[in-house]
Amino acid sequence: MKRGWIAAALIIAAPCLAQAPSPRALYIAGQYDAAIRAGYAQHDSEGLTEAARAALAKERLDKNPCLSCLKIAEAYARAAIAADPKAALPRVYLAAILGYEARIIGVLAAEAKGFAGEARDNLKIALRYHPHNAFALAAMGGWNIGVVDGGGAMLADLMYGASTEAGIAYYHKAFAADPTSIVPRFEYVLSLSSLDRTHYASQISRALELVAHGTPRTAYEKVMQGQAHQLLALWDQANWSDYQRLVHQIQGYPD
């Protein structure tokens, strides 16, 4: 009789004993607020990285750029780096966050704060420990092209050693490191579209097709794929004004 009561109690308690979803699982499912709370509660590098990624995704889904929201994501990323200085992803997200902040505050203010140099340094460290990380490689590709786009080829080379050629090479390393991920290719589309849509038309068109017909791995990547479909439709219509407007919106530029 006692055993029967014990068995019944275990059955009732089983749902309570089930493991709560991890911050990563919550992020993948698109539950960003829950991912932030769980990641912060976990309070190690992995959890704080997911909190940073979820906070960044949440901000990016809002069409109105939010500097204070990015600052929250930045704080999580910096805490994750402090918890594990060799981890790649928190440094990648910090570099991305600084890039989004720079678009809000403007090139001169971002330069005064040293955003470009800090982003580069973090990506170099990420690649030193994780040379085949596709996200880090793509981020370094975007950094090179972004610096050229923001200051011109000569200034980018003189001040930072950045170049379009290096950026494209990093992107192709990212494609090789993770051939099925749509993220590096979508970032490639945005980078080249912002730099020179006409000159890189064939590369952009091909990458857009791959993103549009690829397999998203997260809820955020599904949004990314939806944006690729929108861009591809405008591309096919040769509606360049709306195409460039959407590129800049996705990149986080204020209206």
pLDDT digits (tens, 9 = 90+) for 80-126: 999 999 999 999 999 999 999 999 999 899 999 999 999 999 999 99
At residue 17, the pLDDT reads 45
Please state the separation of Cα 205 from the chain's center in Å.
Answer: 21
The predicted-structure confidence for 141-155, as pLDDT tens digits, reads as follows 999 999 998 877 766
Taking the model in full, what pTM does it have? 0.91
Torsion of CA 112, 130, 92, 177, to 10 degrees: 120
Q: What is the pLDDT of residue 154?
A: 60
Per-residue pLDDT at 218 exceeds 70: yes
Give the Cα separation of 46 and 25 in Å (integer).
12
Does the structure show a pLDDT above 50 at 208?
Answer: yes
pLDDT at 10 over 50: no
Other Cβ atoms within 10 Å of 117 Cβ, number: 14
Q: How far apart are the first and last CA of the chain?
A: 71
What's residue 255's pLDDT?
Answer: 82
In the predicted model, what is the mean pLDDT of the chain?
92
